[in-house]
Amino acid sequence: MCGICGVLALNGARAASEAELRAMAGVIFHRGPDDEGYYTAAPAGFGFRRLAIVDLAGGHQPMSNEDGTIWIVFNGEIYNHAEYRQDLERRGHRYSTRSDTETIIHLYEEYGDDCVHYLRGMFAFAIWDTKKQRLFCARDRLGIKPFYYTISRGRFAFASEMKALFELPGMRAEMNRAALPEFFALGYISSEETMYAGVRKLLPGHRMGIQLGEASPQPRIERYWDLDITPDESISSEDEYVQRFDELFTESVRLRLMSDVPLGVFLSGGLDSSAIAATMTRLVKERIQTFSVGYAEDQFSELPYAKNVAAHIGAEYNQVLMGPDDFFGALPQLIWHEDEPLVWPSSVALNFVSRLARQKVIVVLTGEGGDEIFAGYLKYRATLWNLRYGPTYRKLVPGTLRGLVAKSLESGVLPEGLSRKLRHTFLYRPENFENMYFDNWYSVFPQAMQGKLFTRELADELRATDAYKNSMAFFAKDGGPESLLSRLLYLDIKTYLVELLMKQDQMSMAASIESRVPFLDHKLVEFAARIPARHKVRYLSGKYLLRRAMAGRLPDEVLNRTKMGFPTPVKPWLRHQLSERVEKVLTDGRLEERRLLNPGYVRDLLDAHRRGRADATDAIWRLLNFELWCRVAFDRDAQLLSKPRVDRTEVQTAKP
């Protein structure tokens, strides 16, 4: 795991000085505190920061082939690199290291751009081919590793984190105002654009080439991998599906144990991370290290489940407790690390548990992706139900009566808990997909509300911008009801999951920790994508095959518990302990001076939440992060960037 950056002069002149590359690499020092390296030879320049994990002595980058005609900077891990070594040596390639980086170089020499098809793992890399005068870049299939780029003043520049791009002379951070509707609705941008004007991301499963010598060299981007979601009915029985999943999952975990440094697992106490921990225990001889995060507020803490799993598998258990002061104090620094506003409060918890883990290990396995490939979220089952029975309801029930039902769900006649659940159903929601799915489960500020949130000037500027257009590009409208679940999962894998993985990468790398995601081995994902829906969802419960595979390996209370989803006590904190500090940030005049958001609307939200008239937790969280991001990214408010501390760790060792 590393940090990479580089510059290509599109006119073939000198790309960048070593001082410029050092500045780019220096700002992402946290991604690789163990080593650095630079390549400067017009018209290309590379910078590199290394977190040494495999071949500690020989993995220095930038790395070249035998004669120095091919150069690479690479971030990630290729778990199957050793499989190709003997064949590549037979073809005449000479290895000088044990690193996976060198295998990528030789695969590129043999197969060109198609080298990506041979790579099993997580990766973002750039290759400079001196003979062809061509830059080749690629990102892994699911987007586990980041790759950002821009073109400025005749130079193409790339980096693992956007902040490195702004170290280049003449490169200024400017807000991408056109992205604001999608950001305030969903919290992330589903296209190649980012929150910064002119800065783009290479999408997962895509590769890019830039050929110098052309009249106007420009990136040529193509998708090299996609998911087939056609149901596979060739497997005859449910038991075979369980067996095949178990084989692929075990292989995926085994591959991700490749390391020359200590490794552990993030353990939330949920099914996904517990399944990884239990499988990992079967594959290693030593007792594994688990790391968990929780809170003093018991109703938000999953620590009892995590402790139970650790004891059940005989693991060493480590935990960190967070409080509201830790949480609020860490936000500016973590926003700086992520380069964009934090989408979810769980990002803070993830960073704290990463810092805890860094005290003992360098690599951790995590459970990201299990919900998106095996339909773990309630929203999938509810959407299937809504889209299946909603049309019948609207056909049989008169519009006047439907209107009365919807109004009753807002009136307070029913108990709040029941009313809140029913507002997620077709009894309350309009029939269009965007409202039934995005506004129902994702949107903090649905597009229909943004006229109140934005100033009149900004609302007029963005009137034609569709907040859901980027996401809807990944949702196939055709297909019968049998394919609906697969289409929903495909949509989230291409959008929501990419943001989760960015959070996982940036928050763990901020602590110089490499995180690996066994559920997102592309062979496992390809298998899961074609499993018929009946084997993913059963009796309104998701992840059916995973539960079956883990039966007998995990405690029943973990197998059958309701998903909590990495909860954080943000609601009570924003209403009580953090109320004054948050209000100060949002009402001290600086937000109003930006002339983007309506300050009266923001004050009303704060007041309604503080008085308990409304639950505006998600809205206030998004507003707070947006304003802090503006202060960090554009105001360059140095006073905000004090490093968070993890000083309340507790280590408990479970009995073997």
Instruction: Tell me which residues are annotated as active site.
Output: 2
According to the 3-state scheme, what is the secondary structure of 596-654?
CECHHHHHHHHHHHHCCCCCCHHHHHHHHHHHHHHHHHCCCCHHHCCCCCCCCEEEEEC
Amino acid, single-letter form, for residue 140: D
Rounded CA gap, 94 and 518, in Å?
31
Q: How far is CA 432 from CA 393, 463, 467, in A?
A: 14, 20, 15
Q: How far is CA 234 from CA 397, 473, 522, 538, in A?
A: 42, 30, 20, 20
| Residue 325 token pair | 């002061």
Rounded CA gap, 276 and 366, in Å?
8
Assign 3-state DSSP to the chain and report helix, strand, coil percentages, each to 5: 45, 15, 40
Please list the residues that pair with 265 across neighbouring strands. Answer: 290, 365
Reported as half-sphere exposure (CB side, CA atoms, 13 A), residue 372 has a value of 22
Amino acid, single-letter form, for residue 114: D
| Residue 371 token pair | 């919900």
Return the closest-CA partner of residue 365 out of 260, 277, 496: 277
Rounded CA gap, 375 and 486, in Å?
9
Other beta carbons within 10 Å of 428 = 18
Q: Please, which residues have CB within 8 angstroms of residue 241's CB and are 6 or more apart in sequence? A: 235, 531, 535, 545
- State the DSSP string of 299-335: GG--HHHHHHHHHHHT-EEEEEEE-HHHHHHHHHHHH
Indicate the pairing of strand 514-516 with strand 363-365.
parallel
Local structure of 59: helix, strand or coil: coil
Q: Please, which residues have CB within 8 angstroms of residue 150's CB and are 6 or more apart in sequence? A: 156, 157, 165, 171, 198, 199, 200
Q: Are the C-beta atoms of residues 277 and 315 closer than 8 Å to each other?
A: yes
Local structure of 170: helix, strand or coil: coil
Q: How far is CA 614 from CA 66, 299, 348, 442, 608, in A?
A: 65, 21, 25, 18, 5
Long-range contacts of 213-222 (CB under 8 A, 24+ apart): 213/12, 213/133, 217/10, 218/151, 219/149, 219/151, 219/156
Indicate the pairing of strand 44-50 with strand 2-9.
antiparallel
Rounded CA gap, 135 and 25, in Å?
19
Return the closest-CA partner of residue 445 out of 353, 360, 373, 341: 341
Question: Is residue 56 exposed (0-12), middle (13-18) or buried (19+ Cβ within 10 Å)?
Answer: middle
Rounded CA gap, 279 and 301, in Å?
24
